[in-house]
Every structure is written in structure tokens, then in C-alpha cells.
Amino acid sequence: MKALMFERFGGPEVLYYAEAPDPPMKPGTALVRMKAAGLNFADIYRRRGGYYLAGDPPYILGYEGAGIVEQVSSDLDGIRAGDRVAFADVPFANAELVSAPADRLIPLPYDISFEQAAAILLQGLTAHYLVHDSYHVRPGDDVVIHAAAGGVGQLLIQMSKNKGARVAGITSSNAKREAALKAGADEVLFYDDDWVHDVIGWSQSGCGANVVYDSIGSTLMNSFAAVQTKGTVVFFGMAGGDPPNIDPRMLMDSSKSLVGGDLWNHLTTRNQRLERAETLFADLRMGRLELEEPKQFALEDGEAAHRLLEGRGNTGKILLIP
């Protein structure tokens, strides 16, 4: 098979496209012929050496994608060759063939394309637990979303609006502002402005938002300043650098809450994967969720795709097509 690989940590230039051994068939697995793979910031962090990587060099990135089952191990029931499937947490997805544990596979309905599945699963499942579990968004809440034009950001906007909240996004450019507004944000603020002051002025209470979803990390203290007394900051990413240390006395004095968020603590069983994925697919079907048209790159052009995502000029999802 062909795969997008790298042997040393570094920038996009370390990636190369070459022949690799087909993955071996193991008990409890299915061999999936990939049709689309999602590119995520986690892939960039892994390429740089900042995240855990499965396997040994040469490394193959990617954990999200969709395709067709080509072969199944003899001990599997319920999955057959020819099945359309998707996944959000199977390693080595940037390849033509992927060996996937059966409990990680999500059946893909025929009215959901491979590209839609690869574009929504990881970010959609993340947004879903954030608005239902980390903080249960309620009608009338004032919700603030960092990186509002990104894949998770646009889905968070839509899910929060679907639950009856008012939403303000924070972005870094006019183009990203337009993307966040198109996703349904009521207001979009800029990082270069005094967005904390602007959030407080925008909020219905005049004292700040009910919740701030912070995927930037370095902005964490400003996020606390932008929530009202008894408000919540949900921290779920470090796209802008490590967060500062938090003094728990500040939480006590303000009655504010800090909630950590990691998808894999919310997807611990096959049923959890299926239930949340089916909700996403249903919302796509009913038009309750809309995806910005993903930007597609051939898998062999993975270096260019990484450069686009790493440059932060992109909105929406980037897909790699084997």
C-alpha cells in the first residue's frame, strides 16, 4: 500500500509519500480500504513530536477517516467485506489500508458520504460532549467559543444555537469572522481587540458569559475574566500554547469552575461511539448541522495540507484522499 509517512520530527517537509507494508490481519480487526481521512491539529502535534505516536518509525499519522471493509478476521461477526464504515480513533489512517479494531468502527449510512464522515466525526464528537457533558448548554445561556471558525468551533456554534443559546465567537481575521457568522454566531470578536471587555458588554448580564470554550490554552486567564461569577471555563486544547497554572483560590473567590475536556474519556465503549455518531448523522440529515465544504488534498500532497492547517489561514475541515 501507499502511505504518508515521516521518520523524524519537524515541519511539514519531513512528510513523504511511499510504499509501506500492508497492515497485518489481527484477531478482532477489519481491513479498511480508505476513501477519506481527516486532518487534525493532533496530527501536527504528533509530527512535531509533542503527542504520543503509535508504532515505530517510519510513522504514519492520522486517526480519523472512512472507507470500505476489504477483509475481516475470522473471529468477527456483524462486520463484512463491503461494509461502509468510519472511525475517529484508529491509528495509521493516512494510508490506503487501515487495520481497525471492530469496536472502533462506526457503520456509515448510505446517505452520509465518506467525505462527510471524515469531516465531522472527530470534531463533531468533540463538540457533542463539550455541549452535553463538560457544560450542559441551556436555552438563554451566553456561550463564548474560541477559534470559532475552525472545525470544532463551527460545530460548537451550531450545537449551542440548536440548544437555544446566544453565541459569541472569537477569531483572528475578517474571513474567519464571516465563517463563524455563517455558522450561526450572534456576534464575532477579534483576538487583537479587547475581547474580554467586548464579551462582558455583549453578555445579557453585563457581567460575562455563562461558559467559555477555550481550545487555545494561553488565553485561559482571559477566559476566566470573560465569564461571570459562577461561570464555567471549559479547557480542551492548547493550539496557542500551554495554559498558565491556575490558583484554586481564584476559583474559590469567584465561584468559577474550570472543566477539562478530552474526547477519549467520553468514548469508552462501542455503544457510546455509535450513539453519539448516530446523533451527528441525524443532525446532518435534518440540516441541524451544516459542514463548510472541506478542502481536499490527495494523500500524496499531505505536506501541502499540513502547511495549510499549520498556517491557520484555513476554516473548516481538511481531508486527505488516498
Q: Which residue has the cell 467520553?
A: 266
Flag the least confident range among 25-34, 46-55, 93-102: 46-55
Average the pLDDT over 95-106 and give the result: 97
pTM: 0.93
Structure confidence at residue 53 (pLDDT): 81
Give the tens place of pLDDT for each residue, 101-136. 999 999 999 999 999 999 999 999 999 999 999 999
What span, in angstroms and rounded, lies between the C-alpha atoms of 237 and 102? Answer: 28
What span, in angstroms and rounded, lies between the C-alpha atoms of 7 and 145? Answer: 36
- Which whole-number Å values give the CA distances from 56 to 6, 16, 21, 198, in the listed order? 10, 16, 13, 48
Q: Which three cell numbers stand for residue 82?
A: 463491503
Residues 6+ apart with CB under 8 A from 21: 1
Average the pLDDT over 190-217 and give the result: 97
Residues 6+ apart with CB under 8 A from 179: 149, 154, 171, 292, 315, 316
What span, in angstroms and rounded, lies between the C-alpha atoms of 159 and 2? Answer: 37
Give the tens place of pLDDT for each residue, 252-276. 999 999 999 899 899 999 999 999 9
Q: Which residues pair with 213 in a beta bridge?
A: 145, 234
* 45: pLDDT strictly greater than 90: no
* 240: pLDDT strictly greater than 90: no
Structure confidence at residue 112 (pLDDT): 97
